[in-house]
Structure 1
Amino acid sequence: MSRRVLPGLPLTLGFTLLFVSVIVCLPLAALILKAASLGPAEYWRIVSSPRAVASYRVTIGCAAVATLFNAVFGLALAFVLTRYRFPGRRLLDAVVDLPFALPTAVAGIALTTLFAANGWFGGLLAQAGVTVVYTPLGIVVAMAFTSIPFVVRTVQPVLEDLDPALEEAALSLGQSEGRIFARVILPLLAPALMAGVSLSFARSLGEFGAIIFIAGNQPRSTEITALLAFIRLEEYDYPAAAALASVMLLAAFAMLSVIGVLQGRALRYTGRA
């Protein structure tokens, strides 16, 4: 008879459903109910106002750029940490998790200090005519910093489990390293990479603390939706804040659903579904 670490199904399932209901479902239900307290016309007026639409454009556009950067750089970083041994590798591997442990407000202050015109990085970029702080580029930097661990930590275990015989067989057939990566390694990494990218994008959409220090928070320019919802909360306009938050909730669900479908297709393609 197989041994089970957890108790029987009724107790385990009941505990799981209770946890999900209290931690996840209740807050989301409260958000939806508060937004539903508005009439359709009032709800549409709030979520389609020029300032709100501009915040959607800034938030989603910057999140998309940050996620694209994380997909490329995160994959390269995971590949380096997995395939190569060099001095400082363990330190670099630990630094990857730093955004998880660092308070986002502290991250925002640190990034603002580094990329300001008189900062270490900002001074060099200013000489090249590139301004980061108080621009959409600063938002991208903050989003990329806080969400890149999702890509690295999702792809890294799959890279470690890949069978080296597949690459050796391709090498014996005369394939170049570039073609091996594109034809052998990348298809096997696709499901994990898509999962990491979706988590990175969702994390970028919800980022707040690291952004408000580096963005400048100028309406219709560098104001994100989370900040606009927070402003409505400070004005005690709770239905409006819930309405704005519901739009980002729908955007996150839509993104995760699309990535889930693509990930399922990738799994079927690799024969591991």
Structure 2
Amino acid sequence: MKNRVLPGFHLSLGVTLFYVALIIVLPLIALVFKAASLGPYDYWAIISSPRAVASYRVTVLCAAVATTFNLFFGLALAWVLSRYRFPGRRIVDAIVDLPFALPTAVAGISLTTLFAPGGWFGGFLDPLGIQVAYTPIGIVVAMAFTSLPFIVRTVQPVLEEIDPALEEAAQSLGGTDREVFCRVILPLLKPALLAGVSLSFARSLGEFGAIIFIAGNQPFHTEITALLVFIRLEEYDYQAAAAIASVLLITAFVMLAVTNALQNRALRYTERG
């Protein structure tokens, strides 16, 4: 009989499934049932109201911009941390995880203090006509801050595991640094990049605490969907809150499904290569 990798496999699996059902599945089922209690007409009227649609637009566009920024900056940061040794590297590496440990409300207050017109950064940007706090730019900054570690931490281990012999072989065949990166390293990074981007975007869609302090929360301008859900809850309109939250849930599921499909395709391409 083949030995199990984990001792007590059935017990471990049972505990895992119980945890997933209790912490993840049951809340999602409750949300779906609450939204389903609305009729199709009422459900559509709530999720397609002008204020809700404006919040979707603000949330998705800001999340897309923040994720795009994190894609390039996070890749560059992961590259530096995995390929170079310099004084203070361990400190920089630890700071990357700061958004995980820092309460999002504290992050929001800190960013607002920095980027307000009288803040350290805001005092420099405001005379240039660039206002960050209480604008969509502030939302992007908050989303980028809280979601950056997802890209760095998914890409960094892959970069560290890439065999240097592959790069040396490509260079010995006359490949330039750009060609080596685009044709050797980047294909190996695609699955990790897709995973990091999807997690970063999903985190940005659901971010709340870090945004409400710096956004200004003006309906149709800087109001995100998560805040609109919170407002409906404060109004005791639980069905409307569940309906609007279900839109975020569906969006996240669709995005993750597409990302997983792209990851599997990239993995198959890498294995064939």
TM-score range, shorter chain: over 0.9
Q: Distance in 2 between matches of 1:185 and 1:123?
A: 41
In structure 2, the residue matched to 1:108 is 108
Q: Name the CA shift for 1:266/1:5 in 2 (closer, same or farther; >3 Å).
A: closer
Give the drift of 1:203. 0.4
Q: Name the CA shift for 1:185/1:91 in 2 (closer, same or farther; >3 Å).
A: same
In structure 2, the residue matched to 1:46 is 46
Give the drift of 1:15. 1.3
**Alignment identity in percent?**
74
Give the drift of 1:10. 2.3
In structure 2, the residue matched to 1:73 is 73
Give the drift of 1:272. 7.5
Q: Distance in 1 between matches of 2:141 and 2:217?
A: 15
Q: Distance in 2 between matches of 1:66 and 1:148?
A: 9
In structure 2, the residue matched to 1:85 is 85
Give the drift of 1:159. 0.4
Q: Which moved more, 1:67-76 or 1:113-122?
A: 113-122
Q: Distance in 1 between matches of 2:3 and 2:258?
A: 37
In structure 2, the residue matched to 1:167 is 167
In structure 1, the residue matched to 2:142 is 142
Q: Which moved more, 1:172-181 or 1:19-28?
A: 172-181
In structure 1, the residue matched to 2:194 is 194
In structure 1, the residue matched to 2:206 is 206
Q: Name the CA shift for 1:45/1:176 in 2 (closer, same or farther; >3 Å).
A: same
The one-character-per-residue Cα deviations of 1:16-64 (angstroms, maximum 9, x if unpaired) are: 1111100110000000000011111111110000000000000011001
Secondary structure of the corresponding residue to residue 271 of structure 1: helix
The one-character-per-residue Cα deviations of 1:64-109 (angstroms, maximum 9, x if unpaired) are: 1101111110000000000011111000000000000000000000
Letter in 2 for 1:129: G
- Gap regions ≥5 residues in structure 2: none
In structure 2, the residue matched to 1:132 is 132
Q: Distance in 1 between matches of 2:119 and 2:222?
A: 21
Q: Name the CA shift for 1:77/1:2 in 2 (closer, same or farther; >3 Å).
A: farther
RMSD over aligned CA atoms reads: 1.4
- Gap regions ≥5 residues in structure 1: none
Give the drift of 1:206. 0.5
Letter in 2 for 1:36: A
Q: Which moved more, 1:168-177 or 1:202-211?
A: 168-177
Give the drift of 1:4. 4.3
Q: Distance in 2 between matches of 1:126 and 1:185?
A: 41
Letter in 2 for 1:203: R
Letter in 1 for 2:111: L
Secondary structure of the corresponding residue to residue 121 of structure 2: helix
Q: Name the CA shift for 1:210/1:171 in 2 (closer, same or farther; >3 Å).
A: same
Q: Name the CA shift for 1:219/1:169 in 2 (closer, same or farther; >3 Å).
A: same
Q: Distance in 2 between matches of 1:154 and 1:20?
A: 23
Give the drift of 1:5. 5.7
Q: Distance in 2 between matches of 1:97 and 1:162?
A: 23
Question: What TM-score comes out, normalization by structure 1 length?
Answer: 0.97
Q: Distance in 1 between matches of 2:127 and 2:168?
A: 47
- Counting only pairs closer than 5 Å after superposition, residues 1-273 of structure 1 correspond to structure 2 as 4=4, 6-271=6-271
Q: Distance in 2 between matches of 1:4 and 1:97?
A: 34
Letter in 1 for 2:115: F
Q: Distance in 2 between matches of 1:126 and 1:255?
A: 36
